Structure 1
C-alpha cells in the first residue's frame, strides 16, 4: 500500500489543465527518468514558436524542450551545447543539429528567457535569448506530423523515453508557452520582459496539462517585474 502511494506521488498526473502562473518546475537531480510530459492542444504543426525560462548550474550540454513523433525523435529540439557556446535547434531525424546559433551569452546560475521560432514555409529559424534576437537562419521547410510527445527535463531518443542521464536537465523551468505560428517580435519582447504577452495557443503555462514522472517539484517562483510593454494587435500573422 505504501509503495503504491509513493508511486502515485512520483508519477502525478494533472487531471485537468492547471494554472502554473507564478510557479516553476524544479528538476532536482540528474537522472535518466525524471521528466515532465506536456499535453498539446494539437498534434500537427507547420510554423511554430516555443518560449521558456530556465535556471541551471549545469556546465554540460542539456535540453530545454524536446518534441518527438513516431517517425522523428527530434521533431523539434532546443539544446544547449557549451563546447562552442552554441544553441542547437533540431528539426530533422538525425544526430546533428539542423541549425546552430553560435557565441550565445548563456551563463549558468541565472534565469534566462529563450524563444525559438520556425517558419515552415520559408524554413527560417530564429532564436531569442534574454531579449536579443539572432539572425534568421535557413533550416528545413515542411510540416511536423504527429502525434507528438513533448517532454521537459530529458532529450527523447524515442517518443516519451530512452533517456540518458548525461543529457538530462537539472534546474528550474517556468513559463513554457507554444504557438502554432511565428510570434510577432513585439510579443516576443513582451514575453522576455514578462509583461502582458499573448499566451500560447498550443501550450499555455496558465492552463497547462502535464504529467510528472519522478522527483520533479512544482514550487513558487520569484514574482516577475514588468519592465516594458508594447501595443500590438492580438492576431496571428
Structure 2
C-alpha cells in the first residue's frame, strides 16, 4: 500500500516537472500560424444561367504577439494543471478509501483479538486468584489446626501438672498428719535432751516450707489454667454450633439475611444468639426485624457495654448496662409477650433486665425482613443504611421461638457446650436459610 502511494506521488512530480519544462521551452519560440488557401465555391461552367458570384475573402489573421503566445501557453498549462489535479484528486480519493477500508478491517481484527486476549487474561487472573485464595485458606486452616493442637497439648500438660501437684500435696499432707500422730506420744513425755528437741523442730519447719512451696506452685498452675481456659473460650466458637458468621468490617453492604421457617406475625417470642463483638459503638445492631412501614419492628442491639431489646420501635425497650464486653463470646436473649407487654433481657443465662408494658397488645407485622448485623433502611435493604450501625465480629447460634422460653431453658442454652442443639421453631441455627452478603462469610 505504501509503494502504491509513493508511485502515485512520483507520477505527480514527473507531470508537473514536464509541464514547467514545456512552458520554458515554448516561451522563446515564435509560433507560425499559417492558414491554408481560401476555398471558394465553384459553380460548374456548364450552367451559364447562373452568374459567377465571387466569394468574400476570409478575415485576415492578425499576427500573434509574444504576450498572446504567453497567455495561450498559460491557458494550456492551466488546463493541464486542472486535469492533473483532477487525476491526482481521484487517485488520492481512491487511496484514502483503500486506507480507510484497511484501517477498519485492522481495527475490527484488533478489537476481536484484544477482546479474546482480554477474556483469556481475565480468566487466567481469576483462576490464579482462586488458586491463591484456596491456598491461603488451606494455610490458615492448617495454622489454626496447629494452634489448636498446641493449645490442647498445653491444656493437657497443665491439667497433668495440676493433678501431679495435687497428688504430691495430698501425699505430703498425709505424711505430715501421720508424723504428727506418731509424735503425739513422745510429745507427752517431752524429750529432755536439747538436741532431740532441735531436730524435731527443724523437721517440722522444713515440711511446712515444702507444703507452702507446693501450694504456691499449685495456685500458679491453677491461675495459668484459668487464663488459658478464658482465652480458649474467647477464641473458639461455642461447642455444638459448628459454624459462625464472620463480619470483618463495618459496611452498609456487610450483613446477612435470614429466611424464617414460619411467619413473623407473632404475639410472643424468644430470640437468642451468641455474639463476639470486635467493637461496640453508640448503636451496634445484632438482630433486626423490620418492614417498610417500621424498619425497627424488633431489634437486639448493643450500646457500648450496654444491651438493649426493642419491640415495635426504639421508644419501647428494655436494657441493661455494663454487661457486654468486646472480644468475648456472650449469649444474649430477649423475650416478649403481647399480654401485658412483659419483656426481659438475658445475658449468659442470667436475667439482667425485666419490664412490663413494652408494646402491650402489639402484634409483629408480617412480610418483614430479618437481618443480622444491620437494620433495614427504607423500602430497600440497603437504602439509607448507616454503616456505623453495622456489627463487626463473630455471630452464631441464632434462634427464634414463637413463645417465651422458661428460665431454665434459657440458662441451659447459654452453656458454652452443646448450646446450639436447642433450635428455634421459627428460626433454627443450622436449619433456616442464612444468606451472607459482601465480606460476611462462614467460618468453622
What is the TM-score of this pair, normalised by structure 1? 0.78
Find the aligned partners of 2:365 and 2:312 in 1 and give their Cα distance.
Answer: 12
Q: Partners in 2 of 1:124 and 1:63 — Cα distance?
A: 22
Provide the residue aligned with 2:407 in structure 1.
185
Query: Which residue matches 1:156?
Result: 376
Whether contact under 8 Å (1:86, 1:101) holds in the other structure is yes
Partner of 1:72: 294
Which residue is 2:426 aligned to?
Answer: 202
How far off is 1:118 after superposition? 0.4
Which among 311, 319, 324 is matched to residue 101 of structure 1? Answer: 319
Is there any run of 5+ residues in structure 2 with no aligned partner, and where? 1-118, 127-239
Matched, 1:143 2:363: yes
Compared with structure 1, are the counterparts of its residues 198 and 57 closer, same or farther at alpha carbon in structure 2 (3 Å cutoff)?
Answer: closer
2:215 matched to 1:32?
A: no
Cα distance between partner residues in 2 of 1:120 and 1:57:
34
Alignment of 1:1-16 (within 5 A): none
| SS of equivalent to 1:49 | strand
Q: 1:88: which partner in 2?
A: 308
- Structure of greater relative contact order (alpha carbons < 8 Å, 6+ residues apart): 1
Q: Give me the whole-angstrom Cα distance separating, in 1, the residues matched to 2:278 and 2:422.
A: 30
Corresponding residue of 1:167: 389
**Which string of whole-angstrom CA distances, capped at 9 and with x for unpartnered residues, describes residues 102-152 of structure 1?**
323211111000010001112011010012102420211221121120001
Are 1:187 and 1:198, in contact at CA under 8 Å, matched by a contact in 2? no
Aligned position for 1:231: none
Select the structure that is richer in strand: 1
SS in 1 for 2:271: strand
Unpaired runs of at least 5, structure 1: 6-19, 221-237
Q: Give the Cα–Cα distance (whole angstroms) in 2 for the partners of residues 23 and 132 of structure 1.
A: 24
Supply the RMSD in Å over aligned alpha carbons: 2.2
Higher helix share: 2
Q: State the number of aligned residues.
A: 202
Question: Is 2:337 the partner of 1:119?
Answer: yes
**Secondary structure in 2 aligned to 1:144?**
coil
| Cα distance, 1:78 vs structure 2 | 1.0
| Counterpart Cα distance in 2 of 1:207 and 1:26 | 18
